[in-house]
Structure 1
Amino acid sequence: MRLQQREVGVVWDESVAGRRYDSENCDMRQAQKCVVNGKPDNGYLHWRWQPAGCNLSALDPAEFLHAVRGKHLAFVGDSIARTQAESLVCILSTFSRPETVHQYEERLGRKFWRWVFPAPHNVNISTYWSPFLVPSAHYAMTQETVILDALTEPWTADLDAMDVMVISVGHWFPRPAVYYDDGVISGVVSRPEVNRTDIGGGYLGVHRTAMRRTLEYVNAKSTTDKLVVVATISPAHFDARYGPNHRDACSRQKPYEEWEAEVSGAEAEMRKAVLDEAAAAAAHRRKPGLRFEVLDVTRLASMRPDGHPGIYIFRNAFAGRQVPETVANVDCRHWCAPGPVDTFNDILMKMVAAA
């Protein structure tokens, strides 16, 4: 394989002749279908992650379906978890077409979705909406009520039916919220109108607590063999020079150079929390068939500001028309598919194969 530019990091891959799959005819949210939506630059399809010391091969759908034959793969978390699940389904659909079984309509955000790959594969892939991993209720998408000590989310009921569990959260924790623990308010985050002190450690402390309690629960309650994969946060790339609804708030067409993509601050802390809590869970696992791994995507994602939908979140968004300066819902957090999110599944394949 011929590669250009950096030996380690994000490299331009001349062997990529086109899209890995046809998102137009694949079951995923329209907002991630960048090609269909008219994103004019397509370089994000050709850049790929090059780890140090090895080449990361693209997931082979036939090999993957063989490796997980008869198993249930569950993606638990927020919209990044959902996008990764949809990416995986689209890659596998190039080899075997699944049946889509949805429990909620798309207008409600595809919060619980299931795909079934028929015999001889008999593979189920599901998404479970749980942006805090613990029970929560949101009000007008501006404030949250979060229950830290009650793991009664829908995913817990299906825990023993999961053979591979991918956990991916992070982006909801900075939201203003009131937190309950043991039936009483334990603190708030960014809620000055509530007569309560901020919760210890702020939202970063809450993130670590939720991660720890989730993995402790999985460790204690799993009665079947399971691969538990915990993803680190994938950073957003809104350009601070512009307002969030400016057409150029998410318009970069090339990856960052390594010196431009420092992982620091809250993102570094959230990544560290995943590394620490997954290591603790692995060290105290209660049965040999329970395996904990980290899908560390923070560094590779931090370098890909080119791979977001930006203003192209609707089908043929600006076909033949000038893009206005102000555009609603500029998306510099989620990932184009095909795009960088497929790399998350290339790495997942290596973990599944090693199980």
Structure 2
Amino acid sequence: MKSTEKCVSNGKPDNGYLNWRWQQAGCNLSELDPAEFLRAVRGKLLAFVGDSTARNQAESLVCFLSTVSRPETTHRYEEPVGHEFWRWVFPAPHNVTISTYWSPFLVRAEGRSVDYAMTQETLFLDALTEPWTADVDAMDVMVISAGHWFNHPAVYYDDGQIAGVFSRPDVNETDIGGGYVGVYRKVIRRVLEYVNEKSSGDKLVVVSTIAPAHFDARYAWNHRDACSRPNPYDEGEVPEDANTAEMRKAVLEEGAAAKRQRRGLRFDVLDVTRLASMRPDGHPGAYIVKDRYCAGKPMPETVNNDCLHWCAPGPVDTFNDILVQMVAASG
């Protein structure tokens, strides 16, 4: 697990986030049982594809499963800007593999996503990325989680031609139709079409809706109070964001369309937007380094803040509680 997500050991003083759990009205959502889950996915490859929110969920799952079986990290590859491919193998009798594939746009990109010194992106909408595309047929459970990078200024290419731009007044090209949300929808559709085309065996494909960040708009992102709320939002208190709602809608609709595929290939949507939107308390905030601000150490007004990823344990565990139900339903 990334050290930034270890909120308890990093000294986060408010620990209510450990106790709040999502329960949908009329539905008793059971907590993940590590031993039972390992039995259910024995011999299978579980792949988490997308941005760092995909990795966040995968690491939470690995931590839970590690309470009953210690995995071996068989491959870890890192370059600047978090280009990561991690693989954990839970040995016999489980023989379960969990992998993460860093691909924040799911398609090929050049720019900030590969070099933080850059401020903009160039996306090639018809070029899906390796290594996930090379491994897709071997995946038994595939979880796709991406979206937070799509609002970056970008130039888009499709079929060798510039298809438009987003937030690039420096480029003499027309804004792309539908904005970055339209691009996001197109990418999700193409990814699901590719998975359908390249999958020869049974597979569960789960697309996650976006889990919104909670940077407080009253402050700069690096202000000590930009990510310090200790409690969840109450019903009706969640700020509305039109783009987040449209991105969620895109996943719901494209996921529903993909369900009309062959027998043995199941598509489903992990709809976490609402439950995640109510949990501003569940982020690391300023507590991304062990003991930096604990035990009464003063916190300066300007700090590095993480109000995007989730403490583990924390709200992200609910994502996996729901995933377990999907795996069980898929047989």
TM-score category, normalised to shorter length: over 0.9
Name the counterpart of 1:352: 327
Partner AA of 1:122 in structure 2: N
Partners of 1:263 and 1:302 within 8 A in 2: no
Aligned equivalents of 2:274, 2:174: Cα separation in 1: 34
Name the counterpart of 2:91: 118
Aligned equivalents of 1:268, 1:208: Cα separation in 2: 12
Secondary structure class of the residue paired with 1:103: strand
Unpaired segments ≥5 residues, structure 2: none
Are 1:309 and 2:284 an aligned pair? yes
TM-score of the pair, normalised by structure 1: 0.89
- Counterpart pick for 2:13 among 23, 30, 40: 40
Are 1:204 and 2:177 an aligned pair? no
Secondary structure class of the residue paired with 1:279: helix
Partners of 1:263 and 1:299 within 8 A in 2: no
Q: How far off is 1:84 after superposition? A: 0.2
Are 1:218 and 2:191 an aligned pair? no
Partners of 2:106 and 2:129 within 8 A in 1: no
Aligned residues: 325
Q: 1:244 to 1:108 in 2, by over 3 A?
A: closer
Are 1:234 and 2:207 an aligned pair? no
Q: 1:85 to 1:62 in 2, by over 3 A?
A: same
Q: Runs in 1 of length 4+ with deviation above 3 angstroms?
A: 105-108
Name the counterpart of 1:296: 271
Aligned equivalents of 1:152, 1:110: Cα separation in 2: 12
Q: Report Cα offsets for 1:205-247 as digits up to 9, x if no partner.
A: 0000000111111111211110000000001111111111100
| Percent identity over paired residues | 74
Are 1:64 and 2:37 an aligned pair? yes
CA RMSD in angstroms, aligned pairs only: 1.2
Name the counterpart of 1:83: 56
Secondary structure class of the residue paired with 1:76: strand
Unpaired segments ≥5 residues, structure 1: 1-27
Aligned equivalents of 1:289, 1:186: Cα separation in 2: 35
TM-score of the pair, normalised by structure 2: 0.96
- Counterpart pick for 1:261 among 219, 232, 238: 238
Q: 1:263 to 1:101 in 2, by over 3 A?
A: farther
- Counterpart pick for 1:323 among 282, 289, 299: 299
Aligned equivalents of 1:46, 1:295: Cα separation in 2: 22
Partners of 1:133 and 1:153 within 8 A in 2: no
Secondary structure class of the residue paired with 1:293: strand
Q: Report Cα offsets for 1:61-113 as digits up to 9, x if no partner.
A: 00100000000000000000000000000000001010012331386526110
Aligned equivalents of 1:61, 1:33: Cα separation in 2: 20
Secondary structure class of the residue paired with 2:218: coil
Q: How far off is 1:264 after superposition? A: 3.8
Partners of 1:234 and 1:301 within 8 A in 2: yes
Are 1:190 and 2:167 an aligned pair? yes
